[in-house]
Amino acid sequence: VSLKNCYNIEDLRARARRKLPAPMFHYIDGGADDEWTMRRNSSAFDDYQLLPHYLHDVSSLDLSTRVLGCDLKMPLMLSPTGMSRLFHHHKELGAARAAARHGTLYSLSTMATTSIEDVAAATSGPKMFQVYIFKDRELTKELLQRCRQAGYRALCLTVDTMIAGNRERDRRHGMTMPPSVSLQSLFSYATSFDWTFHLALNPDFRLANVAHRVDALGGGAMALIDYVNSQFDRSVTWDDAAWLASQWDGPFVIKGMSSVEDARRAVAIGATAAMLSNHGGRQLDSVPAPIETLAPIRDAIGNDLELIIDGGIRRGTQVLKALALGANACSIGRPYLYGLAAGGEAGVDRALSLLRAEIERGLGLLGCRSIAELGAQHVTGIRRPLS
């Protein structure tokens, strides 16, 4: 099955599964514990239904919107994901270039296998950098300085990874960084010919933005992961988030919240936006889906924060539900990684084209000409309180 025979995100996922060695596929595809939250992120969209209003002139459709001070050509952006080199040799550059071509925002992870500068040089599209507050605050400050110099528009602090989630699929399939072949995964590597071929040509899996710190310590690749893990600071609080916000003068985003209280705190420290997110169900299992947290959080904070829904989106209709319930935009992780694994940059392009077409078709069928016309009158369903 070629990329052009992939008609939706699930088709790209199936193609990614065939192309990747099992440890890499399950690293993308899996979640924490029983993966209840991961499934719920998608299935909770079924609690809402779209209400079309017919006989409006929908001869021209406009998907553009403005979030984080950026004019985007569609209301769907790319979430930060680490170590894209594990999935395709086009790595972060392929994803960032496809995002720019679609006029949307690409988020680069601190855990990326491409540097801040290389992504900036490869694309002129809007970019956000996702950062952690490391024990070594100087490293965090250095990353911010590099982002400023490279022209990144927004900064995003991920707050739901102070402790690593329990991802049993990674252990079951022998996922390591850098990849290592074990008896259990040997067959899978041997049959993923393209992937293994490129690995042999270019085995560079360095975490490009932090590797120099380890080099300074005289460490190798494994030491790099140990170093990063040792830098996660479990003692970080809202005071530290406020400190980080004060270090950055552009749009500032807190990623990974599910409660009204956290949204209020984000407003208090001057954040521009919150990404309502549970890390795609990869961290704490049993957390509600982002889409269920949206209406209560919007009701509580009004328009004091932009709200971005991140998690479980596989269809354009889900994006339309989120926007009708009050989100400013949506964001995806796995869908574009399936695309990357399925066909590099062209695969990410395919994922974004499919979702864009679905959003556009759905918008017109709903009776709206633009994102701005979407509102509460276009959605019905269960609204649960969050406390």
Tell me whether residue 130 is annotated as binding.
yes
Query: Looking at beta carbons, which residue is closest to ligand FNR?
Result: 333
Identity of the residue, 325 or 368, whose beta carbon is nearer to ligand FNR in the bound complex? 325
Tell me whether residue 332 is annotated as binding.
no
For CA atoms 298, 301, 304, 305, give the dihedral sign.
negative
> Using the rule CB under 6 A, is 28 a contact of ligand FNR?
yes
> Using the rule CB under 6 A, is 143 a contact of ligand FNR?
no
Taking the complex as a whole, the smallest distance from the CB of residue 351 to ligand FNR amounts, in Å, to 11
Tell me whether residue 311 is annotated as binding.
yes
The whole-angstrom separation of Cα 151 and Cα 46 is: 39
Please say whether the beta carbons of 344 and 90 come within 8 A: yes
Tell me whether residue 310 is annotated as binding.
yes
Taking the complex as a whole, the smallest distance from the CB of residue 134 to ligand FNR amounts, in Å, to 13
Catalytic: which of 26, 88, 173, 279?
279
Tell me whether residue 279 is annotated as binding.
yes
Which residue reads 């328009």 in tokens? Answer: 303
> Using the rule CB under 6 A, is 130 a contact of ligand FNR?
yes
Please say whether the beta carbons of 110 and 364 come within 8 A: no
Identity of the residue, 79 or 140, whose beta carbon is nearer to ligand FNR in the bound complex? 79
The whole-angstrom separation of Cα 34 and Cα 32 is: 6
Q: In the window 58-87, what residues touch ligand FNR (CB under 6 A)? A: 79-82
> Using the rule CB under 6 A, is 311 a contact of ligand FNR?
yes
The whole-angstrom separation of Cα 261 and Cα 270 is: 15
Q: In the window 279-308, what residues touch ligand FNR (CB under 6 A)? A: 279-280, 282
Taking the complex as a whole, the smallest distance from the CB of residue 26 to ligand FNR amounts, in Å, to 10
Identity of the residue, 109 or 258, whose beta carbon is nearer to ligand FNR in the bound complex? 109
Taking the complex as a whole, the smallest distance from the CB of residue 241 to ligand FNR amounts, in Å, to 14
Return phi, psi of residue 313, to 5°: -80, 120
> Using the rule CB under 6 A, is 13 a contact of ligand FNR?
no
Taking the complex as a whole, the smallest distance from the CB of residue 343 to ligand FNR amounts, in Å, to 17
The whole-angstrom separation of Cα 279 and Cα 246 is: 25
- Based on the residue annotation, tell me whether 279 is a catalytic residue of this protein: yes
The residues carrying an active-site annotation are 279
